[in-house]
Chain A
Amino acid sequence: MTDIPIRPSIRRRHEAIGGKLVSRLTIALSLLVGIALFFLYQRFVYGLGAVTNINNGYPWGIWVVWDVIIATGFACGGYAMALLVYILNRGEFHPMIRSALTASVFGYSLGGLSVLIDLGRYWNFWHILSPSYFNPGSVMFEVAACITLYIVVLWIEWFPTFLEWLGTRGIQKAFERMLFVFIGLGVLLPSMHQSSLGSLLIAMGYQVHPLWQTPFLPILFLMTALCMGYAVVIFEATLAAVGFARDVREELPLLEKLGKVVASVLLMFMVLRFADIIDRGQTGRLTEGNLQTAMFWIETVLFAFPIAAFSFGSGQSRMSRLFPAAASMLAGAVLYRIDAFLVAYNSPTHWHYFPSAPEILVTLGVIAIEVLAYIVFVKKFPILPGHEYR
């Protein structure tokens, strides 16, 4: 047994943090949601072109790349923590799993809803779940079916929080005993579709720049998904500490450990990525004077910083670097996914894409809904680790 002894205090159950729901922040967020709804009305009445800048050269814009591909990456906290707590049996992280899971529930649910906004023929979406339409060779089929199932699984995983809020301790216990099935699925499904998000690009062949196009896309995407999951937990814990004026000193050693996990996975990611580029004989691309090469190096710097910041230094100096390191990790992963799908995507020269203002405002509206829901839920439900010991 090599575990650090678990502090009895931090093993306490979760608590609702309470407080008023109406604040300047929640009003501003609601305003953003309202603006998004206005443009969504236009999108559904006049078509995708009335609101977005997507075109036949760049058929996927930020409503796909941000709202689904990046947003589900941000929502990997529940997946990454479940892997750590339940599969690798690191019980010491148990107090952090609920807040991670709550963020995942909203991230994935909103990602799923965003798909319906972006789909041209959304009224046919159910075909994804109807066997007569299945095309198992399609990566998109795997992604769509798997994400839909995972959203259901996430709500089931989250259900004990609701039962605890109801105060039905007996039912909650019984429910938690059978939860292992869904925890298994909750680790399996994201491993499948997060890697498939990378596989989506393989069929695009020469159209994706060689610094991104590789048979290792699935594992590279899975690694960034895991890192995003842990980085989001660190990011949210430190942000929640400021936003809700919570004292998180007790959680810091755990966050620091998560940082080390990120550093190790990210290091493997970097080694694999560079080894693959060398192996494919594409090293010449690393020194070209174009946008793609520049973006590749920005990604690399954003990934290198958290590896260093999470690995070196000790005690307080490392603590103070948690937030910037997690932010840098997330920025690198966001860029990696944007680059792979948009910057590295090579369309005929007469096509260009940059999101329109209404397109961005809809995406901001979706983010606002997520943040609003998170604020409401942590205030009303027992989600964040309890601090009764002080």
Chain B
Amino acid sequence: MSCNRRDFMRGGLGGAAAAAACATLGASPAEARENKKVPGNAIGLLYDSTLCIGCKACMSACKTTNELPLDDNVGGKLWDTPFELSGKTYTVIKVYQDGTSVNKDQVKDGFAHIKRQCLHCIDPSCVSVCPVKAMTKNPETGIVSYNADACIGCRYCVAACPFHVPQFQYDTPFPRIAKCQLCKEELAKGDIPACAKVCPTGATLFGSYNALSKEIERRKDMKPGEANVFPRRTVDSGDTYERAAAHYTEEVYGAKALGGTQVRYLAGVPFDKFDLPVGLPERSYASQSESMQEALYSGLTVPAAAFAGLMLAAYFGTKNLHDDEEG
């Protein structure tokens, strides 16, 4: 008797369960989601490496505004000396150097500055991977924010960020994730991000995403060496000065890679010289990862179907075993 039932099982339900399992694993990428789009009132920063003089006023203002401690890495307790972003540092000015380091914004025997900070991705990996919505992207401004009250400290955002921005605090029993949130408290007060506010040359410029896009176009059209007007603080602050335009590389960092970012860079040397990842695909990793999860778990239909099949198989499977045991 159990023989028949078992044969039925193997042919029928086992097959159904297997089919469900195959459906689970071979789910088509047809419902793949696309990259997210720039929010309606997106704001951002433009960092122009050719205007940066490396004064680090932005770093200092960032620490003051965000109440961050000093990050002394050279000892002697002399200055705030972060080498990279850290649990104590939201932004850092770094410098590329080659040979004699005398020619600004040139690769050979030259040097060039770069500002590291959160780029506020249009389709951020950190927001996508966070299991508890501690990382969120404002649907209006596009600011990528961190909420420590929600965070469980799994550090998936740290591991997944393609630009190595979120920084976990390893030196405290009550750690948080440290990252730039575009001075959202200052913005709420009608002010602008501290780094843009204090930048003496307008190398860090605040503005709407669209206004900054136009400004990027304007600068790319400038003839190197020709006098041009450059704004400070914000694109339309009226606080401008004149100087000779530099030579810009073709790439605008953050324009397209992985769906683009709301903080973008212009520079006179290629971006790989700054140890930034280059040559990235245009499709965001967030969209790839989420498409996979959606295909498998959307509405829990696939797991539910698989569960029904498995439960039915287990029902007959255990019944057979009990029958055998008693028989």
Contact A122 B128 (CB under 8 A): no
Across the interface, which residues of A come within 8 angstroms of B319, CB to CB? Answer: 180
Cα distance A54–B319 when bound, in Å? 50
For residue B321, CB closer than 8 A to chain A, the reply is: yes
**Chain B min CB distance to A356 (Å):** 12
Cα distance A87–B308 when bound, in Å? 12
Question: A47-B170, A347-B164 given as contacts; is B314 within 8 A of A87 (CB)?
Answer: yes
Closest A residue, CB atoms, query B276: A348
Which positions 185-240 of chain B face chain A at CB distance < 8 Å?
Answer: none
For residue A138, CB closer than 8 A to chain B, the reply is: yes
Contact A128 B131 (CB under 8 A): yes
**Chain B min CB distance to A54 (Å):** 7
Cα distance A140–B275 when bound, in Å? 29
Cα distance A1–B322 when bound, in Å? 19
Question: A128-B132, A141-B132, A192-B303 given as contacts; is B175 within 8 A of A48 (CB)?
Answer: yes
Which positions 73-87 of chain B face chain A at CB distance < 8 Å?
Answer: 83-87
Question: A137-B128, A181-B311 given as contacts; is B86 within 8 A of A87 (CB)?
Answer: no
Contact B313 A203 (CB under 8 A): no
For residue A304, CB closer than 8 A to chain B, the reply is: no
For residue B108, CB closer than 8 A to chain A, the reply is: no
Contact B167 A94 (CB under 8 A): no
Contact B318 A140 (CB under 8 A): no
Cα distance A48–B86 when bound, in Å? 15
Residue in B84, B85, B171, B322 whose CB lies within 8 Å of A49: B171
Which of the candidate stretches A28-36, A56-64, A305-313 sits at the interface with the other chain? A56-64
Across the interface, which residues of A come within 8 angstroms of B277, CB to CB? Answer: 206
Closest A residue, CB atoms, query B33: A137
Contact A218 B286 (CB under 8 A): no
For residue B241, CB closer than 8 A to chain A, the reply is: no
Q: Count how many chain A residues have C-beta atoms less than 8 Å from C-beta atoms of the other chain.
A: 74
Cα distance A127–B172 when bound, in Å? 21
Contact B14 A88 (CB under 8 A): yes
- Cβ contacts B257-296/A at 8 Å (1 or 0 each): 0100000000000000001010011000110111011101
Contact B153 A121 (CB under 8 A): yes
- Cβ contacts A215-229/B at 8 Å (1 or 0 each): 100110010000000
For residue A133, CB closer than 8 A to chain B, the reply is: yes
Residue in B85, B154, B285, B314 whose CB lies within 8 Å of A140: B154
**Chain A min CB distance to B130 (Å):** 6
Which of the candidate stretches B2-10, B39-47, B53-61 sits at the interface with the other chain? B2-10
Which of the candidate stretches A101-109, A183-191, A245-253 sits at the interface with the other chain? A183-191
Contact A207 B162 (CB under 8 A): yes
Question: A121-B152, A121-B175, A184-B310 given as contacts; is B25 within 8 A of A203 (CB)?
Answer: no
Size category, B interface: 35 or more
For residue A125, CB closer than 8 A to chain B, the reply is: yes
**Chain B min CB distance to A320 (Å):** 32
Contact A86 B170 (CB under 8 A): no
Cα distance A48–B155 when bound, in Å? 12
Contact B132 A202 (CB under 8 A): no
Closest B residue, CB atoms, query A143: B131
How many contacting A-B pairs (Cβ < 8 A)? 229
**Chain A min CB distance to B275 (Å):** 6
Cα distance A125–B134 when bound, in Å? 12
Contact B125 A127 (CB under 8 A): no
**Chain B min CB distance to A271 (Å):** 15
Residue in B84, B125, B150 whose CB lies within 8 Å of A133: B150
Contact B153 A120 (CB under 8 A): yes
Contact B310 A1 (CB under 8 A): no
Contact B159 A59 (CB under 8 A): yes
Contact B148 A206 (CB under 8 A): no
- Cβ contacts B145-167/A at 8 Å (1 or 0 each): 00011111111101110101001
**Chain A min CB distance to B57 (Å):** 25
Residue in B131, B281, B324 whose CB lies within 8 Å of A141: B131
For residue A19, CB closer than 8 A to chain B, the reply is: no
Closest A residue, CB atoms, query B299: A136
Contact A136 B297 (CB under 8 A): yes
For residue B62, CB closer than 8 A to chain A, the reply is: no
Which positions 241-266 of chain A face chain B at CB distance < 8 Å?
Answer: none
Contact A1 B9 (CB under 8 A): no
For residue A139, CB closer than 8 A to chain B, the reply is: yes
Contact A139 B303 (CB under 8 A): no
Contact B170 A87 (CB under 8 A): no
Contact A60 B14 (CB under 8 A): no
Contact B7 A1 (CB under 8 A): yes
For residue B21, CB closer than 8 A to chain A, the reply is: yes
Contact B293 A348 (CB under 8 A): no
Question: A87-B310, A204-B160 given as contacts; is B132 within 8 A of A60 (CB)?
Answer: no
Contact A176 B318 (CB under 8 A): yes
Across the interface, which residues of B come within 8 angstroms of A350, CB to CB? Answer: 83-84
Which positions 1-43 of chain B face chain A at CB distance < 8 Å?
Answer: 3, 6-7, 9-10, 14, 17, 21, 24-25
Residue in B25, B131, B173, B281 whose CB lies within 8 Å of A45: B173
Question: A86-B318, A348-B164 given as contacts; is B303 within 8 A of A140 (CB)?
Answer: no
Cα distance A85–B316 when bound, in Å? 11
Contact B293 A191 (CB under 8 A): no
Contact A120 B160 (CB under 8 A): no
Contact B289 A199 (CB under 8 A): yes
Cα distance A173–B325 when bound, in Å? 11
Contact B17 A87 (CB under 8 A): yes
For residue A240, CB closer than 8 A to chain B, the reply is: no
Q: Which 3 A-B pairs have the closest CB atoms?
A: A120-B153, A49-B170, A184-B311
Task: Please list 14 pairs of residues, one from A and one from B, whose beta carbons are closer than 8 Å in the complex, sorted by A's number.
Answer: A45-B173, A56-B158, A56-B167, A87-B313, A91-B6, A120-B168, A128-B131, A135-B132, A142-B293, A200-B156, A202-B292, A218-B292, A218-B296, A348-B164
On A, residues with C-beta under 8 Å from B are 1, 11, 44-50, 52, 54-57, 59-60, 82, 85-89, 91, 94, 119-122, 124-125, 127-128, 133-142, 144, 173, 176-177, 179-181, 183-185, 187-188, 191-192, 195, 199-200, 202-207, 215, 218-219, 222, 345, 347-350
